[in-house]
Amino acid sequence: MAEHNITGKKGEEMAAEFLEKKGYKILETNWRFMNFEADIIAETAKTLVIAEVKTRKSNYFGEPESFVTKQKQKNLIKTANAYIERKQLDLEVRFDIISVVLNDNNSVKHIEDAFYPLL
């Protein structure tokens, strides 16, 4: 496995553990729809949380969350819609970003309501 894939996998594992410790129920990890993917789908307080995990080894080039592009947001919204339809859910939906920096201090930052779907 390529090093960047190992880094991403480690970040996703840390993010899932972080959410579980906060009381979230992890429903899916790496859930795919067509060629799109949601890193983590979780539930908390009757809210479906679609979380994008961005992991870097440093923040030298910027915080990991700054790399979630508008196109990635659109893809996550499509993925969330497909998941909701497939599971026939009736929940509020929230899009979060979990920013992970893997270095001597390993940090995890959870950004709730990181973006909103455009109407």
The contacts of residue 106 (CB under 8 Å, 6+ apart) are: 14, 100
Tell me, rounded to whole angstroms, the distance of Cα 79 from its chain centroid.
12
The pLDDT score that the predictor gives to residue 4 is: 67
Task: Say if residue 6's pLDDT is above 70.
Answer: yes
Task: Say if residue 33's pLDDT is above 70.
Answer: yes
Length of the chain: 119
The pLDDT score that the predictor gives to residue 78 is: 96
Q: 62-113 pLDDT, tens per residue?
A: 888 989 999 999 999 999 999 999 999 999 999 999 999 999 889 999 999 9
Q: Dump strand ranges (E) for 1-119.
A: 25-33, 36-44, 47-56, 92-101, 107-115
SS3 17: helix
The mean pLDDT value of the chain amounts to 93
Global pTM reads: 0.93
Please, is 96 exposed, middle or buried when counting C-beta atoms within 10 Å of its C-beta (0-12, 13-18, 19+)? buried
Domains with residue ranges and CATH for the chain: 3-115 (3.40.1350.10)
The pLDDT score that the predictor gives to residue 13 is: 96
